[in-house]
């Protein structure tokens, strides 16, 4: 099972750039305002805007809208909008854990984007396909897609996308216990996001780094960098980020045998995550870690009693 830092990165991708490496929703808004588009095409763009708005809050409703958009685009025989609809459908299928279906939707969208020469839409789509293979454990294929996407993103000077791909490559290296390589990838992502002054992505990269530090035994470094991330998330009012940091800090302190500090952060995590459905996975992680801390504290008390 993915740890809290990895979970956070995937969720960050989903929430903050249109589900995974999504083409910017702003492009839909621009099209939505264009007078040159006919009513039916405008309707497709409006439906996809609803999908973008609902993908986190109500994915079931978002799927209804994306199906409607797809059917309308097909009736118009508009291959570009068929591809966009398939793209968003693939995103929702990925979020729902339907990976074969998501892959099929992405591949069909890729064929259409390639045919229509929509070059700017291809790199994020390739990266999304890479994420499916990463999630299902086919890391070799995932890296292949990520590197294809990275090369195109570099050619377009898309630093935002490059940073996100480096983060994804870092996650794969971490999953393979190649911590040195993971840190190198995360540092590349961090440098790009810092240069762009993208504080949200800086904090997300910090959490990824902190998990590598935990795995490699650099617990003090993990605590230091988690606290930096926590400060950023707090300033941004980002509850998911804060809860992720609380959980990571709790794990690091437990491993340092500072169980009271671990318990303090878990209490804060549970207080926030227990009341928000969207933070359910964070809540489960906190409960699991709480059990670990309670066991450790019980052993500690028993040893002291002896």
- For the four alpha carbons of 54, 95, 211 and 203, in that order, the dihedral sign comes to negative
- Give pLDDT tens digits for 150-189: 999 999 999 999 999 999 999 999 999 999 999 999 999 9
- 56, 131 in Cβ contact below 8 A? no
- Rounded to whole angstroms, how far apart are CA atoms 20 and 98? 15
- Give pLDDT tens digits for 127-147: 999 999 999 999 999 999 999
Region of 198 (left: φ > 0; alpha: ψ -120 to 50; beta: rest) is beta
Q: Is the pLDDT of residue 229 over 80?
A: yes
- 209, 201 in Cβ contact below 8 A? no
- Give pLDDT tens digits for 47-105: 999 998 888 778 889 999 999 999 999 999 999 999 999 999 999 999 889 999 999 99
Cβ neighbors of 272 (< 8 A, separation 6 or more) are 239, 242, 243, 246, 279
- Rounded to whole angstroms, how far apart are CA atoms 72 and 58? 22
Q: Is the pLDDT of residue 281 over 60?
A: yes
Predicted local confidence at residue 21, as pLDDT: 52
- Rounded to whole angstroms, how far apart are CA atoms 31 and 21? 20
Cβ neighbors of 299 (< 8 A, separation 6 or more) are none
- Give pLDDT tens digits for 194-217: 999 999 999 999 999 999 999 999
């Amino acid at each position: 099972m993915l740890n809290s830092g990895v979970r956070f990165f995937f969720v960050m991708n989903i929430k903050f750039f249109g589900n995974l490496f999504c083409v910017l929703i702003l492009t839909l808004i621009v099209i939505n305002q264009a007078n040159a588009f006919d009513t039916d095409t405008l309707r497709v763009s409006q439906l996809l805007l609803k999908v973008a708005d609902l993908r986190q809050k109500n994915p079931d409703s978002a799927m209804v809208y994306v199906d409607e958009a797809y059917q309308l685009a097909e009736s118009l025989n508009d291959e570009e909008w068929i591809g966009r609809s398939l793209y968003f459908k693939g995103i929702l299928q990925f979020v729902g854990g339907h990976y074969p279906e998501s892959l099929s939707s992405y591949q069909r969208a890729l064929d259409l984007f390639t045919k229509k020469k929509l070059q700017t839409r291809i790199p994020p789509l390739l990266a999304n396909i890479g994420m499916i293979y990463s999630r299902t454990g086919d890391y070799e294929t995932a890296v292949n897609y990520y590197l294809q996407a990275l090369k195109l993103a570099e050619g377009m000077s898309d630093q935002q996308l490059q940073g996100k791909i480096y983060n994804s490559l870092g996650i794969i290296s971490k999953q393979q216990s190649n911590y040195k390589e993971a840190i190198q990838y995360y540092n590349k992502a961090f440098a790009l996001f810092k240069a762009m002054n993208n504080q949200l992505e800086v904090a997300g990269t910090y959490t990824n780094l902190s998990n590598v530090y935990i795995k490699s035994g650099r617990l003090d470094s993990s605590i230091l960098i988690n606290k930096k991330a926590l400060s950023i998330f707090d300033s941004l009012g980002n509850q998911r980020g804060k809860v992720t940091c609380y959980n990571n800090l709790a794990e690091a302190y437990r491993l340092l045998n500072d169980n009271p500090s671990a318990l303090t952060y878990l209490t804060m995590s549970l207080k926030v995550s227990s009341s928000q459905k969207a933070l359910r996975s964070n809540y489960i992680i906190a409960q699991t870690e709480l059990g670990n801390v309670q066991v450790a504290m019980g052993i500690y008390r028993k040893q002291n009693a002896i």
